[in-house]
Each structure stands twice: as structure tokens, then as C-alpha cells.
Chain A
Amino acid sequence: MYNRIRMLFMLATSMVMAAAWPALAQDKPRPGGELVFAVPSEPPSYDGHQEETFGLIHPVAPHYNTLLRVDPSDKTGTKPVGDLAESWTVSSDQKTYTFRLRRGVKFHDGADMSSRDVKASYDKILNPPAGVKSLRKAAYQAVEAIETPDAHTIVFRLKWPESSFLLNLSSPWNFIYKADTLAKDPRWYEKNINGTGPFTFVEHVKGSHWVGKKNASYWDKGKPYLDGYRAVFITSSSAQVAAVRGERAHIQFRGFTPADRDSLVKALDSKIAVQESPWDCVLMVAMHHEKKPFNDKRFRRALTLALDRYTASKNLSRIAIVRDVAGIQVPGTPWATPPEDLEKLAGYGKDIKAARAEARQLLKEAGVPEGYAFTFKNRGIPQPYEPLGIWLIDQWKQIGLNVKQEIVEASAYHPMLKRGDFEAAMDFQCGFIVEPDLDIARFLTNSDANYGKHQDKVIDELYVKQARATSPDERRKVLREFEKRLLDEEVHVLYTLQWHRIIPHSAKVKGWTITPSHYLNNQLDTVWLAQ
């Protein structure tokens, strides 16, 4: 039995290799068919500017375009390409971005799309009218002005150069809405759909499904390939697996567990294709810097030194949605930590015995006795919180700490973090674009998400420096400094393993590439179904 599982595991890994080259050149897209996919949660409202669940992106994104998007065929999800923008230029001081918009783009109601609509949409995001929220307004603080010299040109003027700006405009949330509609009722889009995207809206049956139909007059001639799609809302993860296994759904775009992948591959064999990628999500341990002994960085360092990350990577990746040992950025993406730098950080070395000996030594120096007990608060969600919690406690036990776990119900969890009602707690981070600015802003002293309440001016300065760096090399250098300070010198937080995104889908689904984020690449215009 054990061997069979191992074989399956290897089989699954080899399938990943095979699937790493989706949309092979010789595959000619076949038009037609309805893509059926499972969505684990349901959109509260329909307005992407105001929500932050992927449950909105998956069914709603195909109705819209954004100004830019990430290249749908790029596995790193970090290359901005035009969506409504046809081309763009950046001034030499990197403070003026000029976009040429596509012509002949129409909203689903027949109206022409122009630069006015793009400006109105961004105005809503940057300066929402009274009574309307905008969740990601803070990401655009650099924007000084948005101008529309003509109907097909839009210009963003910045106060300072910002290396993440193009990716920020590729945000999957920033749907382009119709200016006239917004002028009449800025909240119209909460309950209605009218975009320029590849699919038009058919129906949403609450607690059941969402249906989209091919937009016959889509500006990108020949696309979309599909006749339509059906998003089925299924909360239970075993039911999502059953839906794919019973070939009732082609795919679920968020991700499955390793166990699910193995059972799907075993049951469906060549009828299933598996795509995997490091996931732009990570669980960290927040340590309350105002509580003893967590105020002592020797103690915090001991906690990270105790973790045998490489062994865990091998074993936990069989039972939980985690895999890679990584720093502050997704492995394989432009700003990721090179392995030789990574190994120098505390707790990332390959010699676990030496690390744990050092940890015990540090505990002694910090005056923490053998068998010291504290409570670790974890979130009541099976994947990957609960397995990682069990693992952490086991690791800390090996340096003589006696840690008790308290599971906080998923919904009470965030308020608990915000109140600072913990000694050590699992903290989480998931990005909707793969970009350091987004992932590490939470470590700023004044960030709302600085749950451990550390105060570190150096971190704040390094953040600004990397954000405004004008050359990639310079930015890379500053990011490494930032990382060393955050995870090694000060150990403000402690990273566990990078999440691992596993999408086993019907082999019929073509033209879709996995990215490190479950928020990205869901417009479905390039997706088609093989016979």
C-alpha cells in the first residue's frame, strides 16, 4: 500500500513535468463547448473594486477587461501585457506612463469603450465617491493625475517612480466599467454586470451556479474559443474533487491537495492533466513583540532555528498544500531569493542538528527554561493551517519547548490577530499579483497587518528604497537586505513553507496556464476544450 502511494506520488510528479508545457504549438484551438468549473466560494457582490475573495474573480473576471493583465501563457504570472491597452510608453524618469487603447471595443450593452471609461473606473478605485469602498486604493498612492488627451489615450502621472506600477495596473480586480453608468449610480456594478470581456452574463443562481455566454462581438477576433462557461459553487473540497473525478466539472481554479491529486490521477489516468506551481501564499508565525519572551530576538531566532524546513518540504508536501522552502518571494519569479542566499538565513541551513543546538543555546542565554510552555494560536481551517500547526509544535518540542495549540474558529481569527490577543499565532499572506510591494508591505511598522507590533525604522526605509528603485539589480539588492533583517537579524516573523498550488484538471482543458496566484489568469479567453 505504502509503495503504491509512493508510486502514485511519483506518477503525479512526472505528469507535472508533462503538463508544464501547456498550449503546445501544434495544438490548434478548437472552438465550442462549455467549460464547467467548481468555485469553492461565492461572490458577495459583483463589484471587483470592492471585494477581495477569489470567489468573485473566478466567475466574474471573464465578463471584464482590465487595462493590463499578466501574460496568460506565462507561468510566473509576472509579465504585464496589454488587455484594453494596445501599447504603452514609459518616460525616462519613470514618472509618466502613456497607454494607447484598443479601438472597436464595445461593452456588452453595445456602447463603445473609450479612455473616459478607463479613467472613470480608475477614479472610482483611487477616489471612491461617498458610500463606495475601494479596497486597493493604497496601492496607487504614487498616482498624481490621470489624463485622457484623446478617446484612445490615457496617461498616468506619478509623484515618484514605482517599480511595481505596471503589475499594479495588471491587478485582476481593476475591471473597466462604463463611465456613464458609474456617473448615474456608482454602486450599480455591485449587482449587475456590464463589461467588455470575452463572455456576457447569463445568470447567477444563489447557492448553485453562475453562467456566462460567449461574447460574439468580442474585440479580439476569433476569441473566446468557448461557447460559454458554468461556474458551480461547491464549498466542500471533497465534493469539488468528486465533481472533477466524475467528469462533471473540468477544473477548479483554486487548487487541490496532494491527496486529491493522487486519487484523481489514479482514477482518471490519462484523462487528467496536472499543473503545479509554487503558490503566492505563505503561512507565517507572528510573534507578539510586546510580550515576554517574544520581545527577545534570541528567543524568536531559536523558534526559527528549530524548524527543519527541508525535511518538512519533502514530507508535508504529501499531505498539505505546501512545498518549497522560500524567502519573501515566490520561487522561480524575478525577485525570488537565490538558494545560496537563502541557506545563509537562520533556520534555512541544511544542518538541522547544528541549528537546533544553536537554538537551545539561545534559549539558555535568553533565560528560557527547558519545557517552557506557551500557546500557539492557529486558524480552524484544514489546509494547510492544521497540518502546519501540528508540525510547528512538534519542531518546537525538539528544542525543549512545550507548546499548546489553540485553534480559533476561522472567522474569529482575524479579529484575534488585530486585537493582538496572542503570544504566537499563525499569520497568513496571499498575493493577487506576484510583486514584493504587495507581499511585504504588511511588515511596515504602521501597517494594519503588523500583528506582532514590531517597530523597525530600518525595515520601513528598506521598503521605500526597494519600491522606488529604478533598476532591477538595485531593487534585488535592497530586497535581500530587507529579507535578511526581517527573517534573520531581527526575526520579526517566521516563515514556514511556500504554499504549493496543484490543479489537476480534465485533459480536455487547453490554453490555460497555472500561475502562482489563484487570482490571476481567469479571463478564459484563451481557454478551449479538446474533443
Chain B
Amino acid sequence: MSELVASLDVPSRSSRWIGACRDFIGRRPLGAIGAGVIVLMFVAALAAPLIAPYDPVAVDFAAMLAPPSAEHWLGTDAFGRDVLSRLIYGSQTALVVGFGASLLGATIGALIGVASAYFGGRIDLFLQRIMDVLLSFPLIILALALVAILGNSIPNLIIAIMVPMIPRCALVIRSSALSIREMPYVDAARAAGFGHSRIILRHMLPNVMASYLVMLTAFLGQAILLEASLSFLGLGVQEPLPAWGLMLRGAAVEFAETAPWMAIFPGVAISLAVFAFNLFGDSLRDALDPRLRTQ
């Protein structure tokens, strides 16, 4: 398929892109909304120092627990820190952890899935057992144990969230790869004496790209959600760094009645972000693989 696209005479790259985007918006309004929110998140994360009204870590006892007002649009927390500024900076954490964990998880999963399908036999059986084992641990329990072992830091958090994703991706990719293995051109490549790694990288991987992208976008939302849960439990990102799940921990619950803005806004931010990634992911899946419509 990729060869086919490459051989077509395309007038200009940019106009093709614009056309594709317009097409996407027209056909999949939900996906477009999701994409819009994601773009906003990226803007917030990249331009945080420019748009955030306050320093997200500056303690200001004079403004403790202030309700939303003209100075603090979304109020302040128990240390007088501006909630809006913390939310804006928090999007950096969410995106780094979300993309980091899902890219790694989906990629490693895809490699294992393709290798498993390609080699078959004992290797397949063995890899599948390992995936089964990983799959048998509830997501949060595995992540919890990993954080306990590795300690608290953003790279470790990414690992802890990534590991449970590997088997989930490997399973799906393996089943798409199984059908490709039987394709004549794979046999041809093998007959031509190409090495395993070349066949896997050049012929099998590109053909599971659709499934891979679908898994990747599905993981993005989950990773953000998992990061929020772990931070809420105190096992994720650490104070005074701003992160959405962390903002819901401790004082936000204690003061939920008197200062509900502390508990409401970070939850809304998490939900909105995950919602957007899911909307976008769904539409992307429909577009890439009509056969898999919104499973």
C-alpha cells in the first residue's frame, strides 16, 4: 500500500494535507473536536510561561483558599497557588507522561506482536505466555508495584504506565500480523533470502501501522488517566511540580466542601483531555480501518 501511495503523482504536499484535514472535519466532527482540544492542550503546554497568570509553585499565604475571582479565575489552593496556572503547567506533565508511556508501550508491544506472529512456533508460544502473565495483573496493581520498586520520578512513572500496555498492544498487533505473514510478498522476501529483521521491519511492520496507530491513540487517554490515578495516590508526580492528579490529592479532598474549586477543575481537565484523545482516537480508527469501526 505504501508503494502505491508513493507512486501517485501528488500535486503538493501541503494542499494534500489541508484537503485531508478538511475531509476529516467534515466527515468526523467528533474527531475534529477532539483534535481541537488536543491542539489547545499542546498550545497550553508549550506556551505555559507566556499564558499562565502566576508562577505555578509560588506559595502565597495571603491568598490561601481564595475562591474564583478576577485575580484568580479558578481560585487558589491551600498554599495560595493559582489553580489555573497549575492546570496550564499540568498539561506539560500530562502530555509528557501520556505520550512517553503510550509511544513506548505501543512500540514495544508492536515489535513483540510482530515478532511473535512472524516466528510462530515455540517463540510465539513463549512470548504469548509472557504476555498472558503480564495481562493477568490488573493495570493499576502492576503500575503500583513498579512505582514501589523504581521509586518516584517522571521516567519511572512512564515505565510503570508503559509496562501494562505492552501485552495489550502485542495481542492486537499479533493478530493483524498473522494474516500478513501468509501474504505472498512475505514468502517472496523470505525466498529472496532477506534476513528476519529486514522482513519484519520492511514488510511486516508497515502493514500493521494502522492497528499500531489505533492502539497508540487509545493508549494516550489511558496513560493520562493512569498518571492521574497514580499521582492522586501519591505515587506519581511530586510536589511542588504541578500535575492534575496531584492537585486532587490531600487538601483538595479535605477542603472539598469549603473550597470545591480545588477538587472540581483538575478533574474537569483530566476528563476533558482523555475525552479529546478518545474522540480523536475513535475517529482515526474509523478512518484508518473501517473494518474495526468503534470497537
Contacts and interface: CB of A to CB of B under 8 A. Distances in A.
The answer to whether any beta carbons of A and B sit under 8 Å apart in the complex is yes
Interface of A: 1-2, 4-5, 8, 237-238, 257, 259-260, 262-263, 311, 315, 318-319, 380-383, 386-387, 389-391, 393-394, 405-409, 411-412
Contact of B251 (A311, A319, A389, A391): A319
B152 A406 contact: yes
B59 interface: yes
A381 B239 CA distance: 12
B61 interface: yes
Contacts of A237: 254
B239 A390 contact: yes
B152 A263 contact: no
A411 B78 CA distance: 26
B257 A318 contact: no
6 cross-chain pairs, A with B, having the tightest CB-CB distances, nearest first? A382-B250, A394-B59, A315-B61, A259-B254, A319-B78, A380-B234
Given A315-B61, A318-B64, A380-B235, A405 B254 contact: no
Nearest to A258: B254
B258 A263 contact: yes
A386 B258 CA distance: 20
Interface residues on B, range: 20 to 34
B254 A260 contact: yes
B151 to A, nearest CB: 7
B147 interface: yes
A237 B255 CA distance: 13
A387 B61 CA distance: 12
B257 A409 contact: no
Contacts of A387: 78-79, 250-251
B243 to A, nearest CB: 12
B153 to A, nearest CB: 8
A406 B153 CA distance: 8
A311 B80 CA distance: 14
Given A319-B64, A390-B240, A408 B250 contact: no
Nearest to A382: B250
B93 to A, nearest CB: 15
Contact of B238 (A1, A4, A381, A407): A407
A262 B258 CA distance: 9
Given A259-B251, A315-B61, A412-B148, 16 more contacts: A1-B67, A8-B258, A257-B254, A260-B254, A319-B78, A381-B234, A382-B250, A386-B250, A405-B238, A405-B240, A407-B152, A407-B238, A408-B151, A408-B152, A409-B148, A412-B151
7 contacts: A259-B255, A311-B61, A319-B65, A319-B79, A389-B239, A408-B151, A412-B148
Given A5-B65, A259-B254, A390-B59, A409 B235 contact: yes
Contact of A409 (B57, B61, B152): B152
Per DSSP, chain B at the interface is: loop
A387 B78 CA distance: 9
Contacts of B61: 311, 315
Contacts of B239: 386, 389-390, 405, 407
Contacts of B151: 408-409, 412
Nearest to A2: B66
Interface of B: 57-59, 61, 64-67, 78-79, 147-148, 151-153, 234-235, 238-240, 249-251, 253-255, 257-259
B65 A2 contact: yes
A260 B234 CA distance: 20
B67 A382 contact: no
Contacts of A393: 240
Contacts of B66: 2
Contacts of B65: 2, 5, 318-319
A311 B62 CA distance: 11
Nearest to B79: A390
Given A238-B254, A382-B249, A391-B59, A315 B64 contact: yes
A199 to B, nearest CB: 33
Contacts of A319: 64-65, 78-79, 251
A328 B152 CA distance: 32
Nearest to B75: A1
A389 B57 CA distance: 12
B235 to A, nearest CB: 7
Contacts of B78: 319, 387
Which of B78, B239, B249, B254 has most A Cβ within 10 Å?
Answer: B254
A408 to B, nearest CB: 7
Given A387-B79, A406-B238, A409-B152, A5 B258 contact: yes
A259 B152 CA distance: 28
Which of B148, B258, B259 has most A Cβ within 10 Å?
Answer: B258
Contacts of A405: 238-240
A51 B246 CA distance: 33
A227 B249 CA distance: 40
Nearest to B61: A315
A238 B258 contact: no
B155 to A, nearest CB: 13
Contacts of A380: 152, 234-235
A386 B234 CA distance: 10
Given A5-B258, A262-B258, A407 B240 contact: no
B74 to A, nearest CB: 14
A257 B257 CA distance: 14
Nearest to B60: A394
A380 B234 CA distance: 6
Contacts of A409: 147-148, 151-152, 234-235
A366 B79 CA distance: 32
A313 to B, nearest CB: 11
A311 B257 CA distance: 26
A387 B257 CA distance: 19
A348 B239 CA distance: 26
B64 A1 contact: no
B83 to A, nearest CB: 14
B3 to A, nearest CB: 51
A2 B67 contact: yes
Contacts of A389: 239
A206 B58 CA distance: 45
